[in-house]
Amino acid sequence: MGKTKVAIIGSGNIGTDLMIKILRLSQQLEMSVMVGIDQESDGLARAKRMGVATCSEGIDGLIKMEQWADVELVFDATSAKAHLHNWEKVKAFPDKRMIDLTPAAVGPYLVPPVNFERNLDVTNVNMVTCGGQATIPIVSAVNRVAKVYYGEIVASIASKSAGPGTRANIDEFTETTAEAIEKVGGAERGKAIIILNPAEPPLVMRDTVFTLSEQADREQIRSSVADMVAEVQRYVPGYELHQEVQFDEVPADQPVFIEGLGYRSGLKTSVFLRVRGAGHYLPEYAGNLDIMTSAALATGERIIEHLRGRV
């Protein structure tokens, strides 16, 4: 059976990097159309040079193309607002699936090593955010050992790696990531913070994950985190622990107040991550964008395996 034809909506940094990953790495997906709204964008120009059909009229233009009939999977790398419009158009075609790389969160959240199996038959899945893809696996790793009351993540990304789409979606980033920490990571309460770091030269993405959980065996938590890091590295080789996992006691006689939960005591776990990009289209410091495109590619291939019955 041949490769499955896909289209990408959004010819910016994320869409272009995803296109190059599909062309270079995928054994199951074939680029059919790259879609944008700016005829002069580098993404559309690069697609043309690489022999990929292009469209500069957005989703409406894509639907009019002859290639549309053969496209089975659509990646949306636009913005949260644009995705709402794009999904309204795509959902009219029951034979199409959509993978949303924006914080729109129309469909269920999907983080590959955590909840793949529960979402394989969904027609629109949401890849959360770059911070969510990097940190939710860690929250889940702690939660499978000890119930997590509270999960807080801080994503620090190079300012140069934050394009117009990222900057326009800051509010959606924090809201979507916090909700996914709860729904996917398993925390009772979640919080997300993003920092745009203006340092020169630009620093690679760094993420800090704090959890407050029930008391548990610390070595079991370390082992669970290490196993989860290895799972993520299968599709994001530049994902790694930056320091050893650290623990602190929050004693019962000195509990902390968590909004929405009240006072809690237990075990505080701190995990420090670094994400270096693969450098396919984006610079290595843009690990925040690379983890999104890598997770989206892994998700697309897994969905197609499922649909083709190769699992």
Contact between 80 and 106 under an 8 Å Cβ cutoff? The reply is no
130 in active site: yes
Q: Which of 130, 141, 245, 286 is catalytic?
A: 130
Which strand (E) or helix (H) includes residue 48?
helix 42-49
Instruction: Give one word for 273, left, alpha or beta, with left for phi > 0 and alpha for psi -120 to 50.
Output: beta
Distance CA 155, CA 150 (A): 17
Sequence-separated (6 or more) residues with CB below 8 Å from residue 156: 194, 195, 197, 203, 205, 206, 207, 208
Beta strands, E only, 25-139: 29-35, 53-55, 73-76, 97-100, 124-126
Residues belonging to the chain: 311
Question: 273: Cβ–Cβ under 8 A, 6 or more apart, which residues?
Answer: 134, 135, 138, 206, 207, 208, 209, 239, 240, 241, 242
Q: Are 251 and 303 in contact (CB under 8 A)?
A: no
Judged by DSSP in three states, 181 sits in helix
Phi, psi of 122 (to 5 degrees): -85, 140
The residues carrying an active-site annotation are: 130
